């Protein structure tokens, strides 16, 4: 399978680049800039993309690459910092912008040379999204200027003979008009990609690899009932059938009635399904814990201990399988990458796991790719389209300490919110929505009496890939109805707020 390597220099949109490449039916992987060149060569990519980054290429200690990467003969596209890195390494000069007019941030009218392969077939003028304070004072020998703006004459550069391209803007973000076409041009016109990345092919390849790896061994799958673990269950069932046991751990932090719904849904499947009631042990472990990362690590560790116990009951289980997906891995940090939050099934795992190996068949897939794979496997649409629900459950939607009382309060409030969204048909317009029980208490008045109760936050977002998201514009009348019902029907809440923050700078979940 042909692949593109994305070399990560720490920019905020780096994972979005990967999404855009895969949308063009080309497989890619994100690798830290510290990855040795010999390892990159071994992956035999058809092209390389340098990402953006927050630093300046000319400063000591800034992220760099092995200079031999430029003699390898593989096409390279540099984005923002990546563009400046190309210029800096190949004889150009990058300096701080001399005045404010040379610094560019946000939407910028840009003019393109459509004779350049990167911009062929595009309009000669369009909007791009800029985010740079440095300036290419001198372009490397052999490079042509292929795009400009009113503030910057060298918005894009190209050495088409060697297949090197650099853009100061971010083609991967929606704000850049025709940005996906620029990426597609790099993939197909420069790298000569065939476009062989499809979920149908991935399904067949994944099944064959799972059969080879597992052989006659037994597998225990950590099944939450969410999209990721459900698709993993279907994939493993297709690969090894009765060798698979699915364990659903009801940790007491599920949504209202969710444990029963999961059990009912999988009762129809021809697989070994085990439900474990573990509410008391999880709540005991979490008692008095306020810090989000500790919550995630405690939950991740306790999940493993439960799975180990269940494996002993099944007997001779070799593999633990999880529905880990690519955003989980990325946000949990790898190498020099920042830890956004440790996902319970990645950064939250304990040091010792009593299984021969952990299998993660979805580890390199984004959420929308997982949904596509589910459809390829014949899963029903209601399961494939289900909203994400985090493995730690309500533990990361209860800010501060966790108690059964708080979990029950949040369960009821969240149910009302989801019920009203569905009845209004608004659920079809939202990719994820939920309630968060904050740790803030405020004074209120109910029935002519003073109250001092919790503030509940409502959160709803729209997104295509869950790597970026925008807050949803829910009609005020509907929010008013939700607020009135929750305050009147759920004891312990006297104030409702609505989160209007996008990702970034926020994440979708609060913790």
Total Cβ atoms within 10 A of residue 483: 20
Distance between CA 27 and CA 3 in Å, rounded?
5
Asked if residues 246 and 386 have their Cβ atoms less than 8 Å apart, the reply is no
Judged on CB neighbours under 10 Å (0-12, 13-18, 19+), 73 is exposed
Question: Which positions are catalytic?
Answer: 80, 170, 172
Asked if residues 470 and 505 have their Cβ atoms less than 8 Å apart, the reply is no
β 156-159/164-167 pair status:
antiparallel
Distance between CA 28 and CA 4 in Å, rounded?
5
Report in angstroms the alpha-carbon separations of 207 from 215, 237, 325, 361, 383.
12, 9, 17, 9, 21
Report in angstroms the alpha-carbon separations of 93 from 65, 85, 88, 310.
17, 10, 6, 61
Q: Which residue has the tokens 């459509």?
A: 114
Cα dihedral 331, 461, 361, 193 sign: negative
Give Cβ neighbours of residue 89 (< 8 Å, ≥ 6 apart). Answer: 64, 65, 67, 70
Closest CA to 79 of 177, 185, 6, 175: 6
Give Cβ neighbours of residue 216 (< 8 Å, ≥ 6 apart). Answer: 243
């Amino acid at each position: 399978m042909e692949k593109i390597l994305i070399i990560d220099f720490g920019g905020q949109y780096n994972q979005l680049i990967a999404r855009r490449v895969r949308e063009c039916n080309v497989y890619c992987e994100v690798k830290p800039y510290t990855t040795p060149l010999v390892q990159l060569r071994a992956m035999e990519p058809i092209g390389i993309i340098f990402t953006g980054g927050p630093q300046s290429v000319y400063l000591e200690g800034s992220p760099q690459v092995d200079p031999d990467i430029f003699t390898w003969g593989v096409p390279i596209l540099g984005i923002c910092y990546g563009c400046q890195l190309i210029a800096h390494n190949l004889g150009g000069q990058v300096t701080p912008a001399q005045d404010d007019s040379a610094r560019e941030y946000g939407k910028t009218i840009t003019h393109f040379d459509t004779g350049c392969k990167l911009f062929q077939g595009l309009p000669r003028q369009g909007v791009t999204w800029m985010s740079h304070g440095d300036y290419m004072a001198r372009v490397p020998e052999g490079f042509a200027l292929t795009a400009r703006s009113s503030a910057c004459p060298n918005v894009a550069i190209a050495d088409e003979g060697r297949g090197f391209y650099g853009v100061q803007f971010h083609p991967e973000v929606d704000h850049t008009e025709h940005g996906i076409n620029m990426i597609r041009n790099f993939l197909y016109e420069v790298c000569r990609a065939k476009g062989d990345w499809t979920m149908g092919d991935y399904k067949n390849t994944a099944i064959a690899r799972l059969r080879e790896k597992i052989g006659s061994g037994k597998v225990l799958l950590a099944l939450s009932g969410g999209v990721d673990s459900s698709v993993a269950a279907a994939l493993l069932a297709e690969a090894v059938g009765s060798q698979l046991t699915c364990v659903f751990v009801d940790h007491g932090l599920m949504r209202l009635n969710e444990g029963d719904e999961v059990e009912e849904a999988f009762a129809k499947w021809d697989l070994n399904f085990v439900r474990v009631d573990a509410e008391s042990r999880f709540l005991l472990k979490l008692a008095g814990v306020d810090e989000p990362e500790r919550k995630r690590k405690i939950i991740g560790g306790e999940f493993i201990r439960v799975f180990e116990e269940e494996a002993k009951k099944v007997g001779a289980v070799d593999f633990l399988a999880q529905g880990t997906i690519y955003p989980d891995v990325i946000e949990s940090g790898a190498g020099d990458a920042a830890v956004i939050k440790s996902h319970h099934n990645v950064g939250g795992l304990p040091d010792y796991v009593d299984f021969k190996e952990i299998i993660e068949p979805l580890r390199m897939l984004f959420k929308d790719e997982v949904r596509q794979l589910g459809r390829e496997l014949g899963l029903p649409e209601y399961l494939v389209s289900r909203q994400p629900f985090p493995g730690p459950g309500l533990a990361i939607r209860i800010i501060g300490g966790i108690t059964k009382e708080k979990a029950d309060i949040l369960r009821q409030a969240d149910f009302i919110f989801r019920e009203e969204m569905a009845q209004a048909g608004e659920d079809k317009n939202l990719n994820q929505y939920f309630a968060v029980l904050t740790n803030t208490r405020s004074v209120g008045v109910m029935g002519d009496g003073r109250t001092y109760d919790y503030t509940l936050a409502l959160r709803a977002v729209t997104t295509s890939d869950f790597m970026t998201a925008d807050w949803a514009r829910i009609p005020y009348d509907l929010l008013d109805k939700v607020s009135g019902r929750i305050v009147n029907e759920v004891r312990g809440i006297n104030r409702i707020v609505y989160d209007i923050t996008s990702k970034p700078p926020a994440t979708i979940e609060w913790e």
